[in-house]
Amino acid sequence: MQKYKIIIALIYIVILNTYAYSAEVVDRVVAVVNEEIISLSELSNTLNPYAQRIKSLGYPPEKEREMLFKVREDMLNQLINQKLTDQESKKYSISVSEKELDNAIERVKEVNNYTDEDLRSMLAREDMTIEGYRSKVKEHLIRSKLLNYAIKSKIIITKDEITSYYNSNIEKFRGEKKYYLKNIIKRVGLDISDNEKQNIRSKMEEIHDKLKGGKKFEDVITDYVDSDFDIKNLDLGMFKYNELSPEIQEAIKELKAGDFTKVVETEVGYQIIYVEKTEEKQDKSLEEVTPEIQEILFGELVERKFETWIGDLRQKSHIKVIK
C-alpha cells in the first residue's frame, strides 16, 4: 500500500509541475489502477463517439448532461476493467495473435453469412470502425483465455444446454431462400391525381395480361419503347426474403423460378416482379450447429464469470478515481 501512496504522490507532483510550467493543461490523470494511470485524453478518445451521438439526438440540456455523465462513468469503469485485465494478462503472459484474431472474425462472418462488406456495413450502423471491432474481439479472446486460467477449471457446456439453445432459437438455424428478381416498373410521382393513378394501373394490368398470354418478360418492354407510357425493365439481382419490402414479400412468397407477380403497388410506383431463379439452403441440423452453439454459450458464460471475477479483482486492487 505504501508503494501506491508514493506513486500517487509522484503523479500529483507531475500534475503540479505541469501547472507551474504551462499556462494550459492539455492532459491530466483521471484514474490510477495499481501502478498505471488512465489519462483524460485516453478517456476522451473512448468517450467521444458516444458523446457525439448523445448530443446529436436533441435531448433537453438537463437530460443530455445526465446521459453524458452516465456514459462517462461507464466508459471510465470499462477502462479501469481493461487496465486490470491487461495487467493480469501480462502477469500470466496471455496474448492473442493476429492469426487467432483473424480466425475469430472469420467465424463471426461465417455464422452470420456476412461478407467483408456486410460486416463493415453492420459496424457502420453501430458507429464502429473495423479497427475498433478488432480491438473488441481481441479483448474478448483475452478475457476467455484469462478466465480459463484464472478460474483454474474448464468451462463445460453440456449436451442438454446445447439442445435447449437449439430448440429455443430454431429460427436462427432455418434454411434461407434467396430470389433473383427482375421487374417492370412504372414510377409514380406523389403529386398525381387518383384518376391518373388508375390509368397507370390499367396500363400495367394490360402488360400483365400480355405476360399471362405467354409474351417473354424482357420482350414486353419493347412494345412501349416509342409510347408515352415510360416503363423500365430492371435487373434487380439476388435478395434474401427478409431484405425485401413487405409488399414484395407478400407478392412473391408462393412463386417459383419463372413466375411473375400481379401488379404490385409500392412506394416507388407500380411493379410486376419476375422471379428468374431461386436458391434455397436447408435447415441446419443440431449436429451441424453444435460447434456454433458451444461458442455462443461459452461466450455468454465467459461474460457472466468475467463480471464476478473482475469484481473480485477490483476489490483486491488499488484503484483511485481523480475527479
Tell me, what's the pLDDT at 18?
A: 40
The distance of Cα 137 from the centroid of its chain, to the nearest Å, equals 13
Q: Is residue 187 part of a domain?
A: yes
Contact criterion met (CB below 8 Å) for 27 and 39: yes
The mean per-residue pLDDT over the stretch 16-20 comes to 38
pTM of the predicted protein model: 0.49
For 209-264, what is each residue's pLDDT tens digit? 998 888 888 788 777 776 778 788 888 888 888 888 888 888 998 898 989 999 99
Q: Is residue 78 part of a domain?
A: yes
Q: Is residue 5 part of a domain?
A: yes
pLDDT: which is higher, 116 or 80: 80
Q: Which of 24, 59, 88 is the last residue of a domain?
A: 88
- State yes or no: pLDDT of 9 exceeds 50: no
Instruction: Give the C-alpha separation, 187 to 200, whole Å.
Output: 9
CATH of the domain at 269: 3.10.50.40
Q: Which of 59, 88, 117 is the last residue of a domain?
A: 88
Tell me, what's the pLDDT at 20?
A: 36
Q: Is residue 116 part of a domain?
A: no
Tell me, what's the pLDDT at 136?
A: 84
Q: Is residue 310 part of a domain?
A: no
For 139-163, what is each residue's pLDDT tens digit? 888 877 887 777 656 678 899 999 9
pLDDT: which is higher, 188 or 33: 33
Q: Is residue 11 part of a domain?
A: yes
Tell me, what's the pLDDT at 8?
A: 40
Tell me, what's the pLDDT at 159?
A: 92
Tell me, what's the pLDDT at 71?
A: 92
Tell me, what's the pLDDT at 155?
A: 74
Count of domains in the chain? Answer: 2
Tell me, what's the pLDDT at 226?
A: 66
Q: What are phi and psi of 269, to 5 degrees?
A: 145, -165
Q: Is residue 240 part of a domain?
A: yes
Q: Which domain holds residue 49?
A: 1-88
Q: Which of 88, 111, 140 is the last residue of a domain?
A: 88
